A = this chain, B = another copy of it.
Amino acid sequence: MITIMKSGDAIAALGALASEARLAVFRLLVKRGPEGYTPTELTRRLEVPSPTLSFHLRELLNARLVTSRREGRNLFYSPNLERMQQLVGFLTDNCCTLADGACGPDCRPLPASAQAIPPATRQRKRA
């Protein structure tokens, strides 16, 4: 069953990924898989101070793009691939196609240059 992501959630997810540091974290986690990495391991691999990493992990958590679980004194952060797939679904459905079977009421689809709107560019009535 495909869940559709709300626009506000999509914006949160996009924002969470729109950072060099966070995208790097997320990609590492995706490569890693469900087992996840601890913050310590991530700081080692990304060479970023732990408070900074913690900040970015929280952003990813808020966007629900990662999950965390505790094991002993370690935390493990894992990617939420389902969430990611919902994001891709949102983008595909809303941002990649002319959707709506080709626009609303006052939207002329393809032919562009032909019968377009610009009131200025049309031949002036017999200059």
**Contacts A20-B11, A72-B120, A91-B87; is A31 near B103 (CB within 8 Å)?**
yes
Quick check: is A48 within 8 A (CB to CB) of the other chain? no
Cα A71 to Cα B23 in complex, Å, equals 39
- Check B35–A97 contact: CB distance below 8 A: no
| A73 contacts B by Cβ under 8 Å | yes
How many Å from the CB of A73 to the closest CB on chain B? Answer: 6
Q: Are A109 and B33 in contact (CB under 8 A)?
A: yes
The listed residue (B94, B102, B112, B120) touching A73 by CB distance below 8 A is B120
Residues B17 and A108 in contact, CB atoms below 8 Å apart: no
Find chain B residues with CB under 8 A from A32 CB: 103, 107
Considering the complex, give the chain B residue whose CB is closest to the CB of A116: B35
Minimum CB–CB distance from A40 to chain B (whole Å) comes to 10
